[in-house]
């Protein structure tokens, strides 16, 4: 698909792909339980079971129910959605460096959220989310136009720089708002780095349907995405309405990225790394790439979240900082490899 060479490990047969997917699902479940049980307050498996069968107001039960369960679920869903967003963006731009963080989508959504949060404190979560979508959409539009996407295919270099510039603009604007509003600053500091902590179940339940619908639409588009990634001319020749598909991809990106940022803030590099890992494992056939991205993304964010509790123990750091630091070596490797534009 890109000039990154054929992945060496790419599995060939459907059976081995399915087997590996099952294995990864098992890993996902393991990390999910790890996320529920590990942390500053020690809990074991019986606490977890009792929380949902025989709830007492003990500290372990409260922690599991109100803190760890939401954050584990959030990590799962957000990680999966960001990865799918990254996959879609890399397909749309035919560009191995595309991801919601690099292209300013995250910063756009984050700025609009900060703005709404600071100036319209009475807004409910639903409206805040709309702002997040708006910001994501604006950022996509700006970056895409700037990089010359309207005129045809986009060069990596232009796209990245346009993304960085637009991102810088939104971050500066957010800083302006936050400077004015110190109280908001202290509240959103964690969220601004990307964090799955301290959010209620409600916030998540509002976005889960949106995300699920997004994933399902992705699956439905899988065949067309396969065609599209063969090249626009070929896809057109084979009867694909590429303009419509592009629009569909953009809408999906905006919705999935917007919903993710609304809940967990801009989480770095997951959307860049996971699609590469996916292609490395199963190649670029979307029928497989989508589920793999979902599962791998969830695993990555769950494990990063567990790690975030122990790095400067007993304090916690935002999971976005963990993914940013862990992801940097990958980023550098990918960037060094993907130079042929």
Partner 1 sequence: MKSLFVARKGRLSFIYEKRSALIFAVSMLICIFSILLSLSIGQKYISMFKVIQILFDGSMGGDSLIVNTIRLPRTLVALFVGTSLGLSGAILQGVVKNPLAAPNIIGITDSGSVGALIFLTLFTDPKNNALTTSIFYMPVFAFAGAFAAVLIVYLLAYKKGVTPYRLIMIGIAVSGAAKAITSILIINGPVVFIKEAQLWITGTIYGTNWTHVKLLLPWFLILFIITLIYTRELNVQNLDDCISVGLGSSVEKNRFLLMILSAALASGAVAVGGGISFVGLIAPHISRKLTNSSFGNVLPLSTVVGGIIVVISDIAARTLLFPLDLPVGIFTAGIGAPFFVYLLLKSQRALRRGF
Out of 156, 229, 278, 303, name the contact with partner 1 by CB under 8 A.
Answer: 156
Q: Which residues pair with 312 in a beta bridge?
A: 315
Among 206, 308, 306, which residue's Cα sits nearest to residue 260? 206
Q: Which of 64, 84, 97, 282 binds partner 1 (CB under 8 A)?
A: 97
Measured CA to CA, the distance from residue 209 to residue 215 in angstroms comes to: 10
Cβ-in-10-Å burial (0-12, 13-18, 19+) of 80 comes to buried
Q: Is 89 near partner 1 (CB under 8 A)?
A: no
Cβ proximity of 275 and 86 under 8 Å = yes
Q: How far apart are CA 134 and CA 2, in angstroms?
A: 30
Please state the three-class secondary structure of 225-251 as a single string.
HHHHCCCHHHHHHCCCCHHHHHHHHHH
- Of 65 and 341, CB closest to partner 1: 341
Q: Which of 152, 182, 233, 314 binds partner 1 (CB under 8 A)?
A: 182
Q: Which of 186, 200, 216, 244 binds partner 1 (CB under 8 A)?
A: 186
* Strand stretches in 264-318, DSSP E: none
Q: Which of 28, 105, 306, 321 binds partner 1 (CB under 8 A)?
A: 321
106 vs 248, beta carbon nearer partner 1: 106
* Among positions 84, 210, 268, 296, the unique one binding partner 1 when judged by CB under 8 A: 268
Q: Residue 82, interface with partner 1 (CB under 8 A)?
A: no
Distance between CA atoms of 277 and 145, rounded to whole angstroms? 29
Q: Does 172 bind partner 1 (CB under 8 A)?
A: yes
* Closest CB 62 distance from partner 1, rounded Å: 24
Binding site for partner 1 (CB under 8 A): 97, 101-102, 142, 145-146, 148, 156-158, 160-162, 164-165, 168-169, 172-173, 175-176, 178-179, 182, 185-186, 189-190, 192-193, 268-269, 311-312, 315-318, 320-322, 324-325, 327-328, 331-332, 335-336, 339, 341
């Amino acid at each position: 698909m890109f000039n990154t060479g054929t992945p060496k490990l790419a599995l060939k047969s459907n059976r081995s792909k399915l087997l590996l997917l099952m294995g990864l699902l098992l890993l996902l479940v393991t990390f999910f339980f790890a996320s529920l049980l590990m942390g500053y307050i020690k809990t074991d498996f019986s606490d977890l079971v009792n929380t949902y069968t025989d709830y007492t107001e003990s500290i372990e039960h409260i922690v599991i129910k109100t803190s760890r369960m939401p954050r584990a679920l959030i990590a799962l869903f957000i990680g999966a959605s960001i990865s799918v967003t990254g996959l879609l963006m890399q397909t749309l731009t035919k560009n191995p460096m595309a991801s919601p963080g690099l292209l300013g989508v995250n910063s756009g959504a984050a700025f609009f959220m900060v703005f709404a949060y600071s100036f319209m404190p009475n807004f409910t979560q639903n409206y805040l989310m709309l702002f997040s979508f708006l910001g994501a959409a604006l950022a996509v539009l700006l970056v895409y136009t700037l990089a010359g996407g309207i005129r045809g295919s986009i060069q990596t270099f232009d796209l990245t720089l346009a993304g960085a510039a637009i991102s810088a603009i939104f971050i500066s604007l957010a800083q302006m708002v936050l400077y004015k509003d110190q109280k908001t600053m202290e509240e959103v500091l964690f969220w601004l780095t990307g964090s799955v902590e301290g959010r209620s179940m409600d916030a998540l339940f509002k976005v889960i349907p949106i995300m699920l619908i997004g994933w399902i639409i992705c699956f439905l588009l899988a065949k067309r995405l396969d065609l599209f990634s063969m090249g626009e001319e070929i896809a057109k020749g084979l009867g694909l309405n590429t303009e419509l598909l592009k629009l569909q991809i953009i809408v999906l990106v905006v919705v999935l990225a917007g919903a993710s940022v609304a809940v967990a803030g801009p989480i770095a590099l997951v959307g860049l790394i996971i699609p590469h890992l996916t292609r490395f494992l199963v190649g670029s056939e979307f029928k497989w790439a989508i589920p793999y991205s979902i599962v791998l993304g969830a695993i990555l964010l769950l494990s990063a979240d567990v790690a975030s509790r122990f790095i400067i123990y007993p304090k916690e750091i935002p999971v976005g900082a963990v993914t940013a630091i862990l992801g940097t070596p990958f980023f550098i490797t990918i960037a060094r490899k993907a130079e042929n534009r």
